[in-house]
Amino acid sequence: MSLRNNRAVLLAAAASVLLVAGLALALFWAPEDADQGFSQRIFYIHVPVALTAYACFAWGAWKALRLLWTREPHYDLESYTAVHMGVIFGVLTLVTGSVWAKISWGVWWTWSERQLTLFLVLFLFYCAYFMLRFSVEPGPRRANLSAVYALFGVALIPVSFLAIRLGERFIHPVVFRRDGPALSGSMLFVFCVCLAAMLALFASLYTNELTGKRLDARLRELREALE
Amino acid sequence: MKRVLRDLDLEVEEGGFLLVTGPNGSGKSTLLALLAGLLAPTEGTLDVDLPRGRIGYLAHEPLVYRELTALENLDLYGRLYHVRERRETIGALLERFGLWEARHQRVGSFSRGMQQRLALCRVLLHDPALLLLDEPYSALDESARGLVDELLRETSGGRTVVVASHEPDHVRPLSTSILALA
Amino acid sequence: MTTSEKYVTGAYLVVLAVILLYVVLYSLKLARLEREVAELTELARRRQVA
Amino acid sequence: MTYFADVAALARKDILLELRSRDTLPAMLLFVLSALVVFHFSLPSDASETASTGLLWIALLFTALLGLARAFAAERDQRVLDGLVLAPCDRSAIWLAKSLGVLAFLGLAEAVALPAYALFFQPVGWELVAAIVLADLGLAAVGTLLAAMAAASRARELLLPLLFLPLVIPVVVGGVGATVVDDPGRYLGFLALYDAIFAILSWASFEYVVAE
């Protein structure tokens, strides 16, 4: 098991180094944005968190597909943990996104920000994932149901993004539109560091949480064996 | 997740007759559901080298629609199991289990014994190679129990049979092997 | 600091807070796991004696 | 082509069940009518046309939900689903037969709802009808799979709407869009895309929802 522990330690170390570097660069070193000034710096946390959330859901769906394909039960726990991380990053995206909306347009919520709306839909969808999981007895049946639902989730992401774009024409006339700040060389570098930091954070928390859940399962087995 | 069956390895040779006994809750029904392919084992391996269409499974519930008549239920299963000469087979089975007169009645109006006999028809409809019977005698009157005995005697040798029952002495003489679950 | 700067730092702090909250939840879980292991070793020892 | 024979046998069973118990279809018809009447009272006099179109789509969504809640009721109450799962036929046949059933019920409910809508609110254009047909395909396909999922869980009636609504938001956007916008082509295309993606996904994954 030593390899796995080393990997966890390595991931945690990489995550913390990258996070500190990313935050420092984003807050102090990155050049001031021409029109948005200091508030543009939220970009360095909002977008990486959003992209990491997508990565979590994709990873959860990949593990779900593996479960349905190979029927090995351990994939269920991995898919569940990845989706769980995805919802945490999703909530963070919603929070940082609404702060950005407050800064840029003075409103805590705007429907015309496509990504924000998409995350709201995904948030509802994946909360239902947990509702489904908690209302089925643990076992192969629950694993299959969760896996199928996770696959639907990843199919829903592009479809509802398209729907939101299509919906803009008649649901909510586009009042605020930002086409993403023009990224100069150094800004792009800072953005990449922050993105790497968030992905490393996901990997690290994911590995730890998975180990914790496996420990729970093993202890339950041990308890049954001893009783 | 309650663990029902633990470190059990079991082999049933073709044509054998396995009697599974044990108190209620000892895992008899779970074992049969596993063999039928309804449940997947959480650990270990299970292979029943028979296609799904060759297995007959009698569960606690009759697995028939209460709003449909006996004939309609058997007709549905006959089509799903692609039974040849469906009408004749269904007629013969209903006759044999004394349900011919009640064939147009809704199953909802059947007594528990009649439902069990209909379930037996459903199980034998496609002439299965593996017969899984979970408490076949439950809720049956004297004449129906005779029918089941006759069925078990007639199949031993050709067909593989697994019977789960908590009153085993009735079936013990016919069985080639016995599995007692604690 | 202008209000928007307050908001930006606020957002960063929220992200940091969530990560720290996660670490706190994790330490609670570790404590629970530790208690459970202790309980089980006690159970095992009693079984050994019996 | 035994696959379609199995689907036909299962669909026949569903129709027979509905004729015998006669509970789902009348409920859906009555529900969609009363929903439209309630919407009438909920709309202020100067409400725009889009508002009533939106409400029509909400009524259709919840009528579908009502039908789906009953979809696996018989199979679940008497555990007949195990019997169907044991049969040698491909399990997706169960999904296809049930989806066609839900589609038929939804179509019948709309056959009553649309004239009533035309009477109560404003005339019904061809693009609305086209959008509804395409939307029904998506709702039936995804809804039937989710109904099977909910049937396998404890909190059935609570769970189905939670699973269903997020997944059908694109259908509402496509449907309302096609009705309101003057060049509905793009929205109808989007609905067709949604149907294709999610029908195939539902068809392929149904096996894992009902069997272990």
pLDDT (tens digit, 9 = 90+) per residue, B57-112?
A: 999 899 999 999 999 999 999 999 999 999 999 999 999 998 999 999 999 999 99
Name which of A15-29, A160-174, B99-113, B159-173 the model is least confident about. Answer: A160-174
A4: confidence class by pLDDT, cuts 50, 70, 90: low
Take residue B182 and report the two structure tokens written for it. 């604690």
Q: Scanning every residue of chain D, which has its alpha carbon at the shortest distance from the alpha carbon of B37?
A: D86
Q: Scanning every residue of chain A, which has its alpha carbon at the shortest distance from the alpha carbon of C42?
A: A226
pLDDT of residue B68: 93
- pLDDT tens readout for residues B44-54: 788 888 888 89
Size of interface A-D (CB pairs under 8 A): 96
| Phi, psi (degrees; rounded to nearest 5) at B58 | -100, 115
Lookup result for tokens 């730092």: C9
Instruction: Classify the C-alpha dihedral C7-C8-C14-C16 as positive or negative.
Output: negative
pLDDT of residue C23: 84
Q: Are A164 and A144 in contact (CB under 8 A)?
A: no
pLDDT greater than 80 at residue A153 = yes
Q: Which residues pair with A33 in a beta bridge?
A: A37
Contact A219 C37 (CB under 8 A): yes
CA nearest D180: which of D107, D103, D127?
A: D127
**Count of CB atoms situated within 10 Å of the CB of D136:** 25
Query: Rounded CA gap, D202 and A196, in Å?
Result: 35
Nearest Cα of chain A lies from the Cα of B55 at a distance, in angstroms, of 22
Residue length, chain A?
Answer: 227
pLDDT greater than 60 at residue B175 = yes
SS3 A93: helix
In chain A, residues with a C-beta closer than 8 Å to the C-beta of B40 are: 71, 140
pTM of the entire predicted model = 0.90
Take residue A108 and report the two structure tokens written for it. 């805590």
Sorted by where each begins, the domain ranges of chain A are 2-29+38-212
Nearest Cα of chain A lies from the Cα of B33 at a distance, in angstroms, of 14
- pLDDT tens readout for residues D63-105: 999 999 999 998 988 889 999 999 998 999 999 999 999 999 9
Size of interface B-D (CB pairs under 8 A): 71
The DSSP letter of residue A108 is S
- From the centroid of its chain, how far is CA C20? 9
- Residue B86 at interface with chain D, using a CB cutoff of 8 Å: no
| Mean of the per-residue pLDDT values of chain D | 92
**Count of CB atoms situated within 10 Å of the CB of D35:** 21
pLDDT of residue B55: 92
CA nearest D208: which of A129, C12, A64, B166?
A: A64
A27: confidence class by pLDDT, cuts 50, 70, 90: confident
pLDDT greater than 90 at residue D34 = yes
pLDDT of residue B132: 92
Nearest Cα of chain C lies from the Cα of A217 at a distance, in angstroms, of 11
Name which of A48-62, C27-41, D98-112, D134-148 the model is least confident about. Answer: C27-41
pLDDT of residue A84: 95
- Residue A49 at interface with chain C, using a CB cutoff of 8 Å: yes
Tell me whether strands B130-134 and B177-180 are parallel, antiparallel or unpaired.
unpaired
Query: Rounded CA gap, A189 and A201, in Å?
Result: 18
- From the centroid of its chain, how far is CA A77? 17
- For residue C7, being part of any structural domain is answered with no
Q: Could you tell me where the beta strands, DSSP code E, fall in B22-175? A: 55-58, 130-134, 160-164
In chain A, residues with a C-beta closer than 8 Å to the C-beta of C19 are: 201
Query: Rounded CA gap, A45 and C8, in Å?
Result: 10
Segment C6-32 shows an average pLDDT of 87
Sorted by where each begins, the domain ranges of chain D are 2-210
D135: confidence class by pLDDT, cuts 50, 70, 90: very high
pLDDT of residue B116: 92
pLDDT greater than 60 at residue B156 = no
Lookup result for tokens 């209620």: B24
Q: Could you tell me where the beta strands, DSSP code E, fall in D19-74? A: none
Name which of B2-16, C24-38, D110-124 the model is least confident about. Answer: B2-16
- For residue C28, being part of any structural domain is answered with yes
**Count of CB atoms situated within 10 Å of the CB of B15:** 14
Segment D159-188 shows an average pLDDT of 92
Query: Rounded CA gap, B44 and C33, in Å?
Result: 27
- For residue C14, being part of any structural domain is answered with no
pLDDT greater than 70 at residue A180 = no
Q: Give the alpha-carbon dihedral of D170, D172, D175, D176, to 10 degrees.
A: -120
Residue length, chain B?
Answer: 182
- Residue B39 at interface with chain A, using a CB cutoff of 8 Å: yes
pLDDT greater than 60 at residue D185 = yes
pLDDT of residue C49: 79
Query: Rounded CA gap, A225 and B4, in Å?
Result: 13
Segment C16-41 shows an average pLDDT of 88
In chain D, residues with a C-beta closer than 8 Å to the C-beta of B37 are: 86, 211
Q: Given D155, D198, D212, which is nearest A144 (Cβ)?
A: D212
pLDDT of residue C6: 84
CA nearest D167: which of D200, D145, D192, D189?
A: D145
Q: Which chains share 3+ C-beta pairs under 8 angstroms with A?
A: B, C, D
Contact D80 B55 (CB under 8 A): no
Q: Which residue has the higher pLDDT, C50 or B159?
A: B159
Query: Rounded CA gap, A140 and A26, in Å?
Result: 45
Contact B40 A71 (CB under 8 A): yes
Chain C residues whose C-beta is within 8 A of a chain A C-beta are 2, 4-5, 7-8, 10-12, 14-15, 18-19, 22, 26, 29-30, 33, 36-37, 40, 43-44, 47
Query: Rounded CA gap, D207 and D111, in Å?
Result: 32
Q: Are D100 and D16 in contact (CB under 8 A)?
A: no
Q: Are A93 and C15 in contact (CB under 8 A)?
A: no
Enumerate residues 6+ apart whose C-beta is below 8 A from D125: D179
- pLDDT tens readout for residues A181-204: 566 778 888 889 999 999 999 999
The DSSP letter of residue D43 is S
Q: Could you tell me where the beta strands, DSSP code E, fall in chain B? A: 17-21, 55-58, 130-134, 160-164, 177-180
Q: Are A18 and A196 in contact (CB under 8 A)?
A: yes
- Residue B45 at interface with chain A, using a CB cutoff of 8 Å: no
- pLDDT tens readout for residues A76-127: 999 999 999 999 999 999 999 998 888 888 888 888 788 889 999 999 999 9
Q: Given A37, A95, A205, which is nearest C14 (Cβ)?
A: A95
Nearest Cα of chain D lies from the Cα of B178 at a distance, in angstroms, of 26
Contact C26 A42 (CB under 8 A): no
pLDDT of residue C20: 87
Q: Which residue has the higher pLDDT, D190 or C8?
A: D190
Q: What is the largest CA-CA distance in chain A?
A: 68
Segment A131-140 shows an average pLDDT of 92
Take residue B160 and report the two structure tokens written for it. 């593989």
Residue ranges and CATH numbers for the domains of chain B are 17-180 (3.40.50.300)
Q: In what order do the strands lie in the sheet with B17-21?
A: B55-58, B130-134, B160-164, B17-21, B177-180
pLDDT of residue B40: 84
- From the centroid of its chain, how far is CA A188? 21
pLDDT greater than 70 at residue A172 = no
pLDDT greater than 80 at residue D20 = yes
The DSSP letter of residue B81 is T
pLDDT of residue A3: 63
Enumerate residues 6+ apart whose C-beta is below 8 A from C9: C1
pLDDT greater than 80 at residue A37 = no
What H or E segment, with its residue span, contains residue C19? helix C3-49
- Residue D19 at interface with chain B, using a CB cutoff of 8 Å: no
**Count of CB atoms situated within 10 Å of the CB of C12:** 19
Q: Given C11, C30, C43, which is nearest A99 (Cβ)?
A: C11
Name which of B12-26, B151-165, D132-146 the model is least confident about. Answer: B151-165
- Residue D80 at interface with chain B, using a CB cutoff of 8 Å: yes
Query: Rounded CA gap, B78 and B90, in Å?
Result: 8
ipTM: 0.90
Lookup result for tokens 């990053």: A89
Take residue D53 and report the two structure tokens written for it. 């179109």
Contact D154 A135 (CB under 8 A): yes
pLDDT greater than 70 at residue A176 = no
A177: confidence class by pLDDT, cuts 50, 70, 90: low
Q: Scanning every residue of chain A, which has its alpha carbon at the shortest distance from the alpha carbon of B7?
A: A225
> Above pLDDT 70, what percent of chain C?
98
Work out the angle at residue D205's Cα, subtended by the Cα atoms of residues B1 and B80, and round it to the nearest 5 degrees: 95
Take residue C17 and report the two structure tokens written for it. 């807070």
Residue length, chain C?
Answer: 50
D181: confidence class by pLDDT, cuts 50, 70, 90: confident
pLDDT of residue D108: 94
Structural domains in chain C (count): 1
| Mean of the per-residue pLDDT values of chain C | 85
First-to-last C-alpha distance (Å) of chain C: 70
pLDDT of residue D201: 96
The DSSP letter of residue A26 is I
> Above pLDDT 70, what percent of chain A?
92
Considering only residues 61 to 90 of chain A, which have any Cβ-Cβ distance to chain B shorter than 8 Å? 71, 73
- Residue A88 at interface with chain C, using a CB cutoff of 8 Å: yes
pLDDT greater than 80 at residue B4 = no
Considering only residues 104 to 163 of chain D, which have any Cβ-Cβ distance to chain B shorter than 8 Å? none
The DSSP letter of residue A7 is H
- Residue B129 at interface with chain D, using a CB cutoff of 8 Å: no
